[in-house]
Structure 1
Amino acid sequence: MRTYALTVFAQSGEKLLDESFTAENNDEAKKIGQVRLEEEGYSEHTHRCVSPEAKLILFHR
């Protein structure tokens, strides 16, 4: 399992969500990240999800 980081920002730049989770691969992490964003109601906020190698796998501005 690999550890991914999911971060959500307010328009002011304040972090609204900053958490880590584990997934088998980038595709699974992208799905988990999208579900988590929807659960928290942050789908339309600026967000990013990065892999352990700092590869951007999810991004919305």
Structure 2
Amino acid sequence: MNYALTVFAQTGEMLLNESFTFDSDQEAIDHGRERLQEESYMKTTHRLVRSGELLLFYR
């Protein structure tokens, strides 16, 4: 399945926009959280989606 991880600044600027493929939602969520931690974006507005379904969100 295809997933998209996006991070936004308060100004609306896109800080991170990545796509990846995993076999399960949980694998994608784990990977998304790892990427957010690597880039220090855990407390920045972000979302992880699959086919329009919101899997992770922080505002």
Aligned Cα root-mean-square deviation (Å): 0.6
1:44 aligns with 2:20: no
Q: Deviating runs (4+, > 2 A) in structure 1? A: none
Q: CA deviation at 1:43?
A: 0.6
TM-score, normalised relative to structure 2? 0.95
Return the TM-score normalized by structure 1. Answer: 0.92
- Give the partner amino acid of 1:45: T
Structure 1 unaligned blocks of 5 or more: none
User: In the alignment, which residue of structure 1 is the partner of 2:55?
Assistant: 57
Shift of 1:22: 1.1
Identity of aligned residues (%): 54
Which secondary structure does the structure 2 equivalent of 1:44 belong to?
coil
Amino acid at match of 1:59: F
Instruction: After TM superposition, give the deviation of residue 57 of structure 1 in Å.
Output: 0.3
> What aligned pairs does 1:1-61 form with structure 2 within 5 A after superposition?
2-51=1-50, 53-61=51-59
User: Cα offset for 1:27?
Assistant: 1.0
Cα distance in 2 between the residues matched to 1:16 and 1:6:
10
Aligned length: 59
